[in-house]
Copies of this chain bind each other. A is one copy, B any other.
Amino acid sequence: MATSPDPFNSRSSRKVPLNKDAVLSTALEIVDAEGLDGLTMRRLGQELRRDPMSLYRYAANRAALLDGVTEVVLDELTMFAEEPDWQAQLRGMAHDLRLLALRHPNVVALLVTRPLSTPLGLRPLGTLRPLEQILGLLIGAGFSPTEALHAYRAYYGFLYGHILNELRECIVDPEENEALLRLGLHRLPAKDFPHLRALGPVLANYEGDVELDQGLTILLSGLAAQLQRKDR
């Protein structure tokens, strides 16, 4: 007994050994389709038609698997759009990251929280590449290295914040055409939340890219002003 459930298993598909990329990309598929909790070693093993234990050859443990998934996602970022000036580039990269987040909303929680307790230098290199890239961009634009760092922080802070905000703006029941109900706002006590309830219709049609762009305009104009002040 103890034959494998699928004879196919022990022949053709096993011939091709797994590799890390294959493991990580199907892991990502599972996360996209079923959420973070949906990704278990057993579930992933099933998807790859392997014993769950075999996965430990490609990821030291589940945490490492999750780190790998974030790296795969970050690699989707188009590295360099050639844009005229640094502001346009930052704008473009922001929109790219936003779209990436929308494509993999379940991974955003990882992107944001996984490295929380991992010191900068020990993080997967994929996570650090955008940082290095933007530093170069800003320094090239005329900021001093230190200023570039501060600017980067303001920029990325805002960007991540926006993405989190946008992902939160999700809908209870898209079929419902009454804005209040669609967002579940009817549950709020009217006297404690007058403004929020009044904004129901506005809240209901959120346009993330416009919202992001407006925020960027504020931020970038602030940064540009700083750069000008310095030029004099």
Residues of A within 8 A of B (CB): 105, 108-109, 112-113, 115-117, 119-122, 125, 128-129, 131-132, 135-136, 139, 145-146, 148-150, 153-154, 156-162, 164-165, 167-172, 183-188, 192-196, 198-199, 202-203, 211, 214-215, 217-219, 221-223, 225-226
Most buried by B among A184, A199, A211: A199
- CB neighbours (8 Å) of A188 from chain B are 121, 125, 128
Q: Are B218 and A132 in touch, CB under 8 angstroms? A: no
What is the CA–CA distance of A120 and B154 in the complex, to the nearest angstrom?
Answer: 26
Give the complex CA separation of A108 and B167 in angstroms.
Answer: 17
- A113 contacts which chain B residues (CB < 8 A)? 109, 112-113
Quick one: copies of this chain in the complex? 2
**Does B135 contact A211, Cβ atoms closer than 8 Å?**
no
Instruction: Point out which of A119, A188, A219, A225 has the most chain B C-beta atoms below 10 A from its C-beta.
Output: A119
Evaluate whether A168 and B132 lie within 8 angstroms (CB atoms) in the complex, with A145-B195, A211-B150 already known: no
Contacts of A193 in B (CB 8 A): 128, 132
Q: Check if A222 sits within 8 Å of B218, measured CB to CB.
A: yes
* Minimum distance in angstroms from A175 CB to a CB of chain B: 14
- List of B residues within 8 angstroms of A223 by Cβ: 218
